[in-house]
Amino acid sequence: MEIKNQTASDNSAKFSRFQSAVLKTAMDQKEAILMEARDEKRRVLDQKETELLQAAYDAIQFGVQESHRKMNEIISRASMEGKKQLLSVRTSLFHDILQDVGKKLHDFCESDEYRGYLWSQLEDTVDSLGPRSEIRAFVCKRDERFASALQQELGVRVEATLPDSYIGGCVLVHDRRRIHMDMTLREKLESSKEHLFEISGLEIEAHDIKKKG
C-alpha cells in the first residue's frame, strides 16, 4: 500500500514538473512572439516615419524650388521691363539728338559758310572720277542759285534736281565709268546715325530684347 502511495506521489511530482516545463516553454514562446511583434511594430513605425519625413522633405524641396522659379521669373520680367524702358528712353534721346543735328545742318545750308563748303567738296573730288566734262553734279533745288557759278568755275555740268530732303551737298555721277558718289549731307547724317546707334549699344540691346521676348 505504501508502495502505491509512493508511486502516485512520484507521478504527481513528475506531472507537476512537466506542467511547469510546458508552461515555462509556453511563456517563453509567448514572450518571444510578443517581442517579435513589438520589434515588427517598431520597424513598421520607423519605416512609415521615414517615408513621411521623406515625403515632407520632398514637399518642402518642391516648394522651395517652385518659390525660386517664381522669384527668378519675377526678377527676369522686372529686368526685361527695365531694359525696355531704358532702351525707350535712350532711343528717344537718340532721335532728339538726330533731329537737332538735322536742324543745324539745314541752318548751315542757309549760312554764308555753306557756299565754300560746297565748292571745296566738289574741287576735292571731281578730278578723282575722270575728266570734268564727263561728270554731272546733282545739288538740291535750294542750291540752284549756285548751279551756274559751279558749272563755270569747276567745269562740270550741274543739275539742281535733288529734293531738299537731301539737305545739302551733292551727288556726283560719271555715266561712262558707272560711278555714283553720294556726298549729300543727308547721306553723312545717315552714316553718322548708324555709327552712333551702334556705339551707343542700342543695336545690341534691341537685338537682345527681341530675342528674349
Q: Hey, what amino acid is at 188? A: K
Distance between CA atoms of 164 and 117, rounded to whole angstroms? 17
pLDDT in tens, 160-198: 999 999 999 999 999 889 999 999 999 988 887 766 666
Indicate the pTM of the whole model: 0.53
**Average pLDDT, integer, range 76-91:** 72
pLDDT: is 207 or 189 the higher one?
A: 189
Strand partners, 190: none
Parse the chain into domains and list their residue ranges: 110-182
pLDDT in tens, 116-145: 999 998 888 988 888 999 999 999 999 999
pLDDT in tens, 39-75: 777 776 677 767 766 765 666 676 667 766 776 777 7
Q: Does domain 110-182 have CATH number 3.30.2320.30?
A: yes
Which string of DSSP letters, residue by residue, matches 49-88? HHHHHHHHHHHHHHHHHHHHHHHHHHHHHHHHHHHHHHHH
Length of the chain: 213
